[in-house]
Structure 1
Amino acid sequence: MFILVLLITVLTSVNVFASDQQEKNQHKATPFSADYACFKGNEKQTYVEIYNQVDLNDLQMTHDGISYYCDYELKYTIYKDGALVREFQFDDLVNFDHNDEKGNKTRLNVQGILLQPGYYSCDIQLTDKATQKSQARPLFLDIPDFAVTKLIMSDIQIARSIYSTKQKNAFVKNGLFVKPNIYHSFDYFAAEMFVYYEIYGLTKEKNDDGYNADITCKIRKSNGALKKEIKHSVKHPTTDAVHSLRMSILELVQGEYELEIQIKDKNSKEKAINRTRFNIGWPDDFSQRDFVFDMIDQLKYVAPQWNFSGIITLPQQKQRAAILSFWKGRDPSPETAENELMDEFYKRVSFANKYFKQCQNKGWKSDKGKVYIQNGQPLTVYRLYSQTKQNAYEVWKYENQDKRFIFVDHMNFGDFRLIPQDAVEYFELE
């Protein structure tokens, strides 16, 4: 019986998205994505956060004799009306213990700057320091003026999680750590959405003990149909306020949506409205039916003793809820919005599908895929060749776990099959 041994791997950076320019700013040809969000700065300038998500698979891995690492630079050049306004760069080094550990991993970062309101273009260039190869992409900035007397909102920032913290880094705003969603996209396993925004210019009467507002959040399909509405009232001690919202999206089906947030000042009766888009999608190119069946079959790698046949007969939305409930019961940190065990599991499934596909079989169904999903990245991998049988063998060793797996290619077509550990052939290769 296989037992799942998941090694939780978390990169120490995160990324963000918060404007409606997603389609214009995302260029799939480059190994990184970019977007921005605007918040109140000082009397003359707006605070702008520029977000980047770098795909580490597109960078050269370097080995220094002890560990592996990717080393890259992001250079930002900002123009207004063709004139240079500002230029700066960010250097990042990502370390790994093993080769190929970077599979399916991204690096996220944020750069905060002050700019006067107006229209700008920002050229972002990524340079892989190992190869000195560079790729660039444009980002167009529409910077609003928040230094006004009327009621106004910041950009709406769609996030994967938001939580209180005493840490101080670029992703913490007003005591909240915001882990953004740069694409505004949620896959099959997303049960909830987090939202961050700020309000400026609330008013009150002299005798009021706070600044009061009514807030209405609406989610609409791309055709305008209202799918969800949340209303609540708030009271703040100051004229400017910070808001975060945790919202269930479990009932939403695949498609494009618009989130609208309206603020109404109870005293002045002024209103401020902002909108942004997000997407509920599927992480792979399977049909919904086949995709769900795959999800159910994959759960057998985690709990082989379970009978999952009952989930197959459920309606689609209940299937999704049942799968999420299965993972929720195994969440190593239920107090947080993320389920690290589930995230790591499906990263491994994605890696297996990409690198271990055999003929018409999906990678997660192959012997290599199964071992990788259940045990993670092997410490060492090497090939052996039999002079008598003319077969190729591949050995995966997990020294820290005192285990190894041996695969044999009987047909010499690259179709490696796992040798049972009680087979004579296994011991002949000791």
Structure 2
Amino acid sequence: MDSRIKSRGLVESKLMYSIRSLTVMVGSLLFVVPSVVAQRSPQIEVDYASFAYDERESLVELYMALEASSLTYEAQGSGYSIAIPFHLSLIRSSADANRDLAEDRPVWVQEDELRFFVPDTSSIFEGRVFLRQTRFTVLPGKYELQVDLLITEQEVIQSRRDLIIPDYSQRKNCLLSDIILASSIADSDDNEDPHYKNRLSVIPNTNQLYGVDSAQLFYYVEAYNTACAASDSGEYTVLAYVAEASSLVRVPGLEERSERNARQTDVLVGSFDLSDLRSGTYFLHVEIPSSTNETVVEESRKFFVFNPSLNTLQSDVITGDEKFEISSYATMTEEEIERGLKYIQVIANEREFRQIRRVQDLDERRRLLMDFWEVRDPTPGAEGNEFRDEFYRLLTYANERYSAQRVEGWETDRGNTLLRYGRPTNIESNMYERGRKPYEIWKYNNIPGEGQAEFIFADLDGFGDFELIHSTVAGERKLPDWPQRISDRY
């Protein structure tokens, strides 16, 4: 599989960006008639990426993609056009510690029109998009973005999403920007191009879908303060690879390691050919390891592959093979198997969870446990299983630290979080803060598909059982006003 990483050195990121609102049109249209009416409601996708800018603020790129086939066009002169008023507003999240609770005004607002014109309507089909890109600077923090599109006086399309903007201003540690997953990246000298940055034209893929007719994944990421990971030769290492979402197992052939000269700011560009990947969910990981191969900093982005020509069906029936007969799983007692299956439900995917509940035969349950760990083995064929071993180390740690009221530590909220997401980068323990119940803030520099993340645990009843009351991770418990919830006056 083809992959490559380019390196470009910069003096200051902000000098290579044009901070303005820009629009690009991708695609053209479908029928040659006085007006072209969409058959369904307009579809919009919103994505963003953040980068270093100056000592106070970070740069944010906001991407809005509209499906061309979901829009209604009017004849205008020699072609067809559409104009959609929109309103963007960014406010501090209620979960942001720096937010002034009395301040509800947006920190950034933009009002404009999405205007697109095409000479004919011959090429609009599913998948064609119009893309709007906007750049602005903002203080680091947690924000809520609202997008309002005025389709008609009676129809307003709204989209909301959380934005976490890191602080890139410190110069001591290695940092990575957000990753842009792109549909194309090409060399460019056209600084009027709305997608131009650092002598490149980067067209973001807002839905992160690859496969048929778009099998090449491109990515763009900036690395800062890379000298912190440099060897004596003045070079540092970058590792980029694709991993399965369900198991985090690296995909063979989709990995690139390169050495490059340490710079204050470095631009990393690469691509992977995904044409041989089965349909499914994956992560692109970019990391900078130390000279001892310990991860210094890492970023990841989730993406999706749709390859219907490949066999994507995975059987729900668990079958044995010769490896099972000679494995330790074949002789495990029923008690050992049930305990092992109980543990793995914390990190099992939906298909595996269904199998655990459905399969009753003891030998099949033994095979199920073996298969579960085998697909997560980062070094198949080698002795041991590092992923499984780390899981049980975390489980033991959770039992030693978090057991409470006859509940084993791994079953508590903190224990579950530890098993799902690994060891936090930092834990802020606040056991005796005046006016508040005991609480902990777990911070992660990077959770695959989420980036920086936080978990808030609090001992609400005073018995030492710390409940998860809020997290920035999608699908986890949300309580934006958690500071009020842990107040003694609540």
TM range (shorter): 0.5 to 0.7
CA separation of 1:259 and 1:124: change in aligned 2, threshold 3 A: same
Q: Is the 8 A contact 1:56 1:70 kept in 2?
A: no
Match of 1:411 in 2: none
User: Does structure 1 retain, via aligned residues, the 8 Å contact 2:224–2:264?
Assistant: yes
Give the one of 120, 138, 154 matched to 1:98: 120
Contact 2:42 2:66 in 1 (8 A): no
After superposition, give the CA deviation of every residue in 1:101-121 in whole Å (9 maximum; x if it has no partner).
645442001111111111111
Alpha-carbon distance in 1 for matches of 2:301, 2:271: 16
1:266 Cα deviation from its structure 2 partner: 4.8
Partners of 2:276 and 2:264 in 1: CA distance: 35
The corresponding residue for 2:165 is: 143
Match 1:198 to one of 222, 233, 241:
222
Residue 246 of structure 2, aligned match among 201, 213, 223: 223
Deviation at 1:234, TM superposition (A): 2.8
Asked if 1:88 is matched to 2:110, the reply is: yes
Per the alignment, residue 175 of structure 1 pairs with 199
Aligned pairs (5 A) from 1:201-280: 201-203=225-227, 211-224=234-247, 225-228=249-252, 229-236=254-261, 238-264=263-289, 266=291, 271-280=296-305
Structure 1 contact 50–111 (Cα < 8 Å) conserved: yes
Q: Indicate conservation of the 8 Å contact 1:257/1:279, yes or no.
A: yes
Contact 1:212 1:265 in 2 (8 A): no
Q: Which residue number corresponds to residue 64 of structure 1?
A: 76
Amino acid at match of 2:120: H
User: 156, 161, 164: which is aligned to 1:134?
Assistant: 156
Deviation readout 1:202-237 (Å, 9 max, x if unpaired): 11799978x411122222212322213524333236
Distance 1:207 1:223 in 2: 34
1:268 offset after TM fit, Å?
12
Q: Which of the numbers 163, 166, 183 marks the counterpart of 1:160?
A: 183
Note if 1:189 corresponds to 2:213. Answer: yes
Q: By how many angstroms is 1:86 displaced?
A: 1.4
Instruction: String of CA shifts for 1:138-180, please: whole Å, max 9, x gaps.
Output: 1211111111221010111111111110011331121111112
Gaps of 5+ in 1: 1-10, 16-27, 290-430
The equivalent position to 2:62 in structure 1, one of 46, 50, 58, is: 50
Change (3 A) 1:252 1:174: same
Q: Go from structure 1 to structure 2 and tell me whether the alpha carbon gap of 1:207 and 1:57 turns closer, same or farther (over 3 Å shift).
A: closer
Distance 1:233 1:144 in 2: 26
RMSD: 3.4
**CA-CA distance at 1:238 after TM superposition:** 2.6
Q: Secondary structure at the match of 2:194?
A: coil
Is it true that 1:125 corresponds to 2:148 in the alignment?
yes
Amino acid at match of 2:60: V
In terms of mean alpha carbon deviation, does 66-75 or 46-55 score higher? Answer: 66-75
1:40-59 CA-to-partner distances (Å, cap 9, x unmatched) read 11111111111000123333
Structure 2: distance between partners of 1:132 and 1:29: 13
Aligned length: 264
Q: Report if aligned partners of 1:154, 1:199 keep a CA contact under 8 Å in 2.
A: yes
Counterpart of 1:167 in 2: which secondary structure?
coil
Judging changes above 3 Å, is the alpha-carbon distance between structure 1 residues 226 and 208 closer, same or farther for their aligned structure 2 residues? Answer: closer
- Pairwise CA distance, 1:30: 5.5
**Where do 4+ consecutive residues of structure 1 move more than 6 Å?**
204-209, 267-270, 286-289
Check conservation: 1:264, 1:272, Cα contact below 8 A.
yes
Q: In 2, are the aligned partners of 1:30 and 1:137 still within 8 Å (CA)?
A: no
Q: Is the 8 A contact 1:46 1:116 kept in 2?
A: yes
1:35 corresponding residue in structure 2: 47
Query: Does the 8 Å contact 1:219/1:226 carry over to 2?
Result: yes
2:278·2:312 contact (CA, 8 Å) conserved in 1?
no
Q: CA deviation at 1:32?
A: 1.0
Work out which of the residue numbers 84, 90, 93 in structure 2 matches 1:78.
90
Alignment check: 8 A CA contact 2:143 2:164 kept: yes
CA contact (8 A) 2:42 2:70 kept: no
Shift of 1:93: 2.1
Secondary structure at 1:203's aligned position in 2? helix
Cα offsets for 1:318-367 (capped at 9, x unmatched): xxxxxxxxxxxxxxxxxxxxxxxxxxxxxxxxxxxxxxxxxxxxxxxxxx
Amino acid in structure 2 at the alignment position of 1:86: W
